[in-house]
Amino acid sequence: MIKKNIFYIGLDIGGANLKVVGLNRNKKIIFVEQFKCPIWRGTDVLIDKFKIFKNLNPEALMGITMTGELCDNFLNREDGVKKIIGCTQKIKCLKYFFTNNKDRFKKKPSHKQVASMNWLATAEFISKKITNGLIVDFGSTTIDLILIKNKKCANIFFDDFNRINNSELIYTGCTRTPIFGITNQVTLKKEVYNVIPEFFSNTADLYRAIKILPDDLDLYESADGKNKSRANSLRRIARNFGLDYNRDNKSLILKLCKKLISIQLNNLHLIINKIFSKNNFFNKTTPIILCGIGKNIIKFDKQKYNFINFEDLLHVNSKKNIYASYHAPATSCALLISELK
């Protein structure tokens, strides 16, 4: 429950998760939370989740961004934006929506100004902190790649269609991606293993299997509805290779897990290298800012890249800031709205 000592709030309304970051009067991050919120099941889910704001200070400033308008229970993005904005009327405080407009925050935006602009909120905040750089936001479902040049967002495209087709948005994540979304084949020692294109398992299973997915970031049910033990994760992954998991093939399944993760991360590195080669303002000293719930999964060669964690840009090193770095758009909205004149 959000308390009255929170004066600035960043709210990122995704299709699957709701991210909330709160600042006190001194603009210190004192609240960070991610809530499971499957909007595709209906906007009543979102309205119910907004009960956390029941005790909110009515004079609090809230900066709102969203991607939830993509859910398939909406007719289109315009319909989604309209209905999500309608839901936010249940929150009793001073609300502004982050937009691609020059003024950024608007009380009554058009759907084109606000739809899927959460990545731009991150760009807006970080562009005030660095001159040039690349932001890599590795989330549950997607990876945003955001260029900063001369303290401005240098991305060319703002809509999902063009961002997906120009290496600015990658639909792969660290928990919700079906493993057949990574590749259709895995090769181990010249042996080729085909991946069955059925939703038997997802990337959460992969990262659970190698023990690097924290429980508090693992919010959704498994593909088969069973619990999230390591053994059950391996069992689900085995199904995608036509296997019944047992003691004899455990070693093989683990090797396949690690190879799938390697393919996912190698694809990301290839795209980053492509971005570096296309933009001559990048060099070894240019920072790569890591954020998102998968930021600790990404491994970079320290000799080749200068990477910075999002929380390092928040000045005060605290556990809350580390959690805030998992939800960069919500954090950015909270910090940006706190500067609103």
pLDDT band at 304 (very low <50, low <70, confident <90, very high): confident
Mean pLDDT throughout 300-310?
Answer: 84
- Give the helix ranges, DSSP H, for 127-244: 160-164, 203-209, 230-239
Residue 7 · residue 57 · CB < 8 Å: yes
- Give the helix ranges, DSSP H, for the chain: 43-49, 77-88, 111-114, 118-126, 160-164, 203-209, 230-239, 250-278, 319-325, 328-337
**What are the structural domains, with CATH classification, of the chain?**
8-130+315-337 (3.30.420.40), 179-269 (3.30.420.190)
Give the pLDDT score at 284: 78
For residue 2, give the DSSP letter.
-
Give the pLDDT score at 323: 93
Q: Is 33 strand, coil or helix?
A: strand
Single pTM value for the model: 0.95
Per residue in 7-37, pLDDT (tens digit) is 999 999 999 999 999 999 999 999 999 999 9
Mean pLDDT throughout 93-112?
Answer: 95
With a cut of 90, say whether residue 214 has pLDDT above it: no
Mean pLDDT throughout 231-246?
Answer: 97
Percent of the chain whose pLDDT exceeds 70: 99
Contacts of 33 (CB under 8 A, 6+ apart): 19, 20
Provide the 10 A C-beta neighbour count for residue 270.
11
Give the pLDDT score at 3: 80
Strand ranges across the sheet with 61-66: 29-36, 17-23, 8-13, 61-66, 94-98, 105-106
Nearest to 43 by CA among 62, 20, 59, 66: 66
Radius of gyration (C-alpha) of the chain in whole angstroms = 20
Residue 144 has which token pair?
A: 């945003």
pLDDT band at 128 (very low <50, low <70, confident <90, very high): very high
Residue 134 · residue 289 · CB < 8 Å: yes
With a cut of 80, say whether residue 208 has pLDDT above it: yes
Nearest to 314 by CA among 302, 325, 303, 305: 325
d(CA 173, CA 325): 16
Q: Counting every residue, how long is the chain?
A: 341
Give the pLDDT score at 4: 86
For residue 27, give the DSSP letter.
-
Mean pLDDT throughout 137-142?
Answer: 96
Mean pLDDT throughout 240-247?
Answer: 96
Mean pLDDT throughout 238-253?
Answer: 97
d(CA 68, CA 77): 9
106-112: long-range contacts, CB 8 A cutoff, minimum separation 24? 111/69, 111/77, 111/78, 111/80, 111/81, 111/82
Give the pLDDT score at 302: 74
With a cut of 80, say whether residue 281 has pLDDT above it: no
Give the pLDDT score at 276: 85
Contacts of 7 (CB under 8 A, 6+ apart): 23, 24, 25, 57, 59, 60, 61, 338
Helix (H) or strand (E) holding 138: strand 133-138
Percent of the chain whose pLDDT exceeds 90: 85
